[in-house]
Chains A and B, each alone.
Chain A
Amino acid sequence: MAQIDIQNVQKFFGQHQVLKDLNLTIEDGEFVVMLGQSGGGKTTALRAIAGLETVTSGKILINGEEVQNRKAADRDIAFVFQSFSLYPHMTVRENIAFPLRAVRMNAADRDRAVKAVAETLQIAQHLDRKPSALSGGDMQRVAIGRALVRRPQALLMDEPLGVLDAKLREQMRAEIKRLHIARGSTSVYVTHDQIEAMSLADRIVILHDGVLQQVGAPDQVYLQPTNLFVAKFVGSPVMNVSDVRIDGNNVRLNGAEAGFRFPDETLSTVRHAEAGLTLGVRPEAVLLAHHQGEGYVPVVTTNIEPLGSHDIVDVQLGGTVLRSRTASGFVSGEGQQVWVRLDPAQAHFFDKATGLNMRGAN
């Protein structure tokens, strides 16, 4: 197991810069998830750690040793590909044993190691099959088994669940977590799925346009996004975002007549923004009521998504649609008159020019 340090890493593909001065330390035994849109640089960062991609400048250290100029084979790292990348001409057993053959382990030890890892992953009954005869979930189990079998310094996974269907993803997600807890291997996991990131990560690393946006524990990233990109990328449904104007203690959404009253301590840090402000509130901070109350503004519901455990209700306020998370059946239909309030404690103000969260670290 190992600690991985990424120091000032830059990566260009021709003129295009895909990693911009990336700095990151992944602790021994930590599960780090790199989250971002495709093209954000997360896969490139992962491949750079593995040695499948060179870096233009900067250092990558594994256990304090510089490895950026070492071949992939000499970094003692395992990689799980989105496409699984199992060798079709080999059986499952041969696939899992493949990395052990590279280090010329003797046949008896090899067999023992393959069996042990196959049992952990519950694929022991498939060992003599060809990969093409397996289900998607089992293929990915084999791919993970092949990665784990030689007990690498770190396990890198590039969207390993990306091609599985929703049910299987959920199941495999739990399995990967269980495996991580059992083996305690340093793991770096790339995904664009924020739910996967939230559920697996010790820490989430958010990359956008090759720039590191935020590093933090899942709840930290969710509750205290450093900028608008992170705020919008993490969380489902997406955070409500609207340009706002502040008059005294009144926060008016873009084009709306009525405003919301916010307490002084919330507004003190944002009052003097020059470029204008963008307000972000998550659906659970948009509070609906059936009756007029202190601080509530009347609105009309426009759409309801019943999700079983809760509903997502859209309300129209001026030019903005606010999405609210309510108890199931709280609102019975579209076109209903309700009252809305925003929870000031869960409201985020972003500088319109820089996108930074004005409340800083709260």
Chain B
Amino acid sequence: MAGVRTPQEKWTNRVAIVAVFVALAIMLTPIYWIAATSFKPRNLATTIPPTVVFQPTVSPFVKLFTKRSQLRDQPTAEEYAAAPWWERMVFDGGEKVVRNGKTGEVRTSGYGDRFTNSLIISIISTILAVSMGTLTAYGFSRFKVAGEDDWLFFILSTRMLPPVVVAIPMFLMYRVVGLNDTHLGLIILYTAFNLSFAVWIMKGFIDEIPREYEEAALVDGYTRMQAFFKVVLPEALTGMAATAVFCFITAWNEYAFALIMTNRNAQTAPPYIPSQVGSGLPDWTVIAAGTLLFLIPVAIFTFLLRNHLLRGMSFGAIRK
């Protein structure tokens, strides 16, 4: 910000900066906590007061991706020496890695598959919700739709009920049609959740794109469809990116339906991570490691689209 500032404004500015730091601290502390815990040895994870200085270890991540069982006896010296470095970490924690009895292959935990499920389901449902939402919004924005306002309200009303309310009927229906514990089932569910949101957000963006853009294309010999793809879509990209971020986050973080509708095949990461608290003493470091990895895709996705989230960049070549 350029321009002359009065002393009072300088003070306001300083206060604002302090406020930003406070807000950042509040928001980043849990993330720091998770990150720190995921690199701690198990015995330091739950100390009071919290341990701040410690020797970081990747053993929580090793444990996260492997299947383990409690050690009854200490491993023999040969066993210990023969084991790779990461397996020794598991031994040190009083557990051993479960291996296939015949081949000796390491049995992996379910985390990798669940993470992949999360990616597949979130990405596909985001693409579907944004593309269908954009087309629907375009229709509402540009054409006379009988009862337009009622339709839009109806679309929005699907968000008015807490989703969990319909969980049981949905579960029963899904069981009948065989969509239980399938990727397709969750994709349909998340697309349906996000569609109403996508329609409303995209309608706002498309309303702001002047009709003259398409009209110019129509007069110049293009069909409505070509005009949409060549003229409207490039202008709507900013809005689509913003909508995609929100849809992706919603689908990625969804817990309740994933818990109810899936158990093995199509289970996503959110219900899996807490299931590891399980019996016995929970290993918080493993849970923290799982959570930390789970945060990364959303962070990357949002970071890649950050420019589009700051809107209003391409509006300018039209005079109003």
Which of A's residues lie within 8 Å of B, judged by CB? Answer: 50-52, 71-73, 75, 77-79, 81-89, 98-99, 102-103, 130-132, 136, 139, 146, 150, 163
Interface centre among A79, A83, A130, A132 (most CB of B within 10 A): A83
> In the complex, A77 Cα to B319 Cα: how many Å?
23
- What chain B residues lie within 8 Å of A75 (beta carbons)? 219
- With CB as the reference atom, state the residue of chain B lying closest to A143: B216
Q: Assess whether A73 is in contact with B221, with CB atoms less than 8 Å apart.
A: yes
Smallest CB-CB separation from B220: which chain A residue?
A99
Q: Beyond A83-B212, A87-B213, A89-B234, is A72–B318 a contact (Cβ under 8 Å)?
A: no
Contact with A along B289-320 (1 / 0, CB 8 A): 00000000000000000000000001111111
Return the CB mask of B190-225 against A: 1 if under 8 Å, else 0: 000000000000000000001011011111111100
Q: Is B95 engaged at the interface, CB distance under 8 Å to the other chain?
A: no
- Return chain B residues, CB-CB under 8 Å to A71: 218, 223
Does B62 interact with chain A (Cβ within 8 Å)? no
- With A88-B235, A89-B234, A89-B235 known as contacts, the answer to whether A83 contacts B222 (CB < 8 A) is no
> Which partner residue on chain A sits nearest B218 by CB separation?
A72
B231 at interface (Cβ–Cβ under 8 A)? yes
8 of the cross-chain contacts (CB-CB < 8 Å) are A52-B219, A73-B222, A82-B319, A85-B216, A86-B317, A88-B315, A102-B217, A150-B221
Give CA–CA (A52, B314) in the complex, Å.
25
Instruction: Give Cα A82 to B318, complex, Å.
Output: 9
Please name all residues of chain A whose beta carbon is closer than 8 Å to the beta carbon of B213 when the two chains form the complex. Answer: 85, 87
B137-183 interface (Cβ within 8 A of A): none
Partner pick for B220 among A86, A89, A98, A139, CB 8 A cutoff: A98
- The chain B residue with its CB closest to the CB of A79 is B219
Chain A binding site: helix, strand, loop or mixed by DSSP?
A: loop
CA distance in complex: A132, B316 (Å): 6
**B interface vs A, CB < 8 Å?**
210, 212-213, 215-223, 226, 230-231, 234-235, 314-320
Apart from A85-B213, A87-B213, A89-B234, what 11 extra A-B contacts exist at CB < 8 Å? A52-B218, A73-B221, A81-B216, A85-B215, A87-B231, A88-B314, A88-B316, A98-B217, A98-B220, A102-B221, A102-B222
**Chain B residues, Cβ within 8 Å of A52:** 215, 218-219
B318 touches A85 (CB 8 A): yes
A163 to B318, CA, bound (A): 10
Residues of A within 8 A of B216 (CB): 79, 81, 85, 146
Min CB distance B111 to A, Å, is 42
Question: What residue of chain B has the Cβ atom nearest to residue A81's Cβ?
Answer: B212
Residue of A nearest to B318 (CB): A83
**Taking CB as reference atom, which chain A residue is nearest B213?**
A85
A72-B219 Cα distance, complex, nearest whole Å = 5
Q: How far is the CA of A77 from the CA of B223 in the complex (A)?
A: 15
* Alpha-carbon distance A83/B219, docked complex (angstroms): 15
Q: How far is the CB of A72 from chain B (nearest CB, A)?
A: 4
A-B interface, 9 closest residue pairs, ranked by CB to CB distance from nearest? A102-B221, A99-B220, A85-B212, A131-B317, A88-B317, A132-B316, A163-B319, A79-B219, A89-B234
Chain B residues in 8 Å Cβ range of A88: 235, 314-318
Chain B nearest CB, measured from A302 CB (Å): 39
In the bound complex, CA of A85 to CA of B213 (Å): 5
CB nearest to B314 among chain A residues: A88
In the complex, what residues of A have CB within 8 A of residue B319's CB? 82-84, 136, 139, 163
Query: Inside 8 A of B217's CB, which chain A residues have their CB?
Result: 98, 102
With A73-B223, A89-B234, A89-B235: A84-B318 Cβ-Cβ less than 8 Å? yes
Alpha-carbon gap, A99 to B222, bound state (A): 8
C-alpha gap A150/B230 in the complex (Å): 19
Residues of A within 8 A of B235 (CB): 87-89
Tell me whether A79 and B215 are in contact in the complex, defined as CB-CB below 8 angstroms, given that A88-B314, A99-B221 are known contacts. yes
Known: A83-B212, A85-B213. A132 touches B317 (CB 8 A): yes
Once the chains bind, are B219 and A89 in contact (CB under 8 Å)? Answer: no
The smallest beta-carbon distance between A322 and chain B, in angstroms, is 39
Measured in the bound complex, the distance between the Cα atoms of B222 and A52 in whole Å is 13
- Give the chain B neighbours of A89 by CB distance below 8 A: 234-235, 314
B220 touches A102 (CB 8 A): yes
Q: Are A103 and B210 in contact (CB under 8 A)?
A: no
* Residues in A whose Cβ lies below 8 Å from that of B218: 51-52, 71-73
| Chain B residues in 8 Å Cβ range of A50 | 219
- Once the chains bind, are B317 and A87 in contact (CB under 8 Å)? yes
Nearest B-chain residue to A90, judged by Cβ: B234
Chain B residues with CB below 8 A from A139, complex form: 317, 319
| Alpha-carbon distance between A71 and B220 when the two chains are bound, in angstroms | 11
**Chain A positions within 8 Å of B223 at CB level:** 71, 73
* Docked pose: A102 CA to B230 CA in angstroms: 11
- Chain A residues with Cβ under 8 A from B226's Cβ? 102
Smallest CB separation, B65 vs chain A (Å): 44
B221 to chain A, nearest CB (A): 3
Contact B219 A77 (CB under 8 A): yes
Q: B222 contacts which chain A residues (CB < 8 A)? A: 73, 102
Q: Which among B212, B314, B319 has the greatest number of chain A C-beta atoms within 10 A? A: B319
B319 → A minimal CB distance (Å): 4
Determine how close the nearest CB of chain B comes to the CB of A168; give it in whole angstroms.
12
CB-nearest residue of chain B relative to A99? B220
Contacts of A73 in B (CB 8 A): 218-223
- Min CB gap B146→A, angstroms: 13
Q: Which of A51, A52, A73, A85 gathers the greatest number of chain B CB atoms within 10 Å?
A: A85
